[in-house]
Amino acid sequence: MDLQVQFGKRVRELRLAKGLSQEALALKAEVDRTYMTSVENGKRNVAIQNIGKIIAALDISIQDFFNSEIFTIK
């Protein structure tokens, strides 16, 4: 499973854990809701600026965001 899909899964996992809707997270991250849907579905080759905005909107550190077994590229 490639990193694009893993990233989307991790965003969804954390969003649900925080009880946020896609709309609420998209608003906080200052991205469009449909963009957020495609990110979570692993359909978006997200660039690092938006990666940073989405992670910040989830109120989690970069280290903790990527410290998950979801990420198995190596």
Applying CB under 8 A, the span of 3-11, 15-23, 24-32 interacting with its own copies comes to 3-11
Burial grade of 14 (CB within 10 A; 0-12, 13-18, 19 or more): buried
Nearest approach, Cβ of residue 66 and its own copies (Å):
4
Distance CA 3, CA 7 (A): 6
Nearest approach, Cβ of residue 26 and its own copies (Å):
18
51 belongs to the binding site for its own copies (CB under 8 A): yes
38 belongs to the binding site for its own copies (CB under 8 A): no
- Give the other-Cβ count within 10 Å of 63's Cβ: 7
Distance CA 44, CA 35 (A): 8
Binding site for its own copies (CB under 8 A): 2-4, 6-7, 45-49, 51-52, 55-56, 59-63, 65-68, 71-74
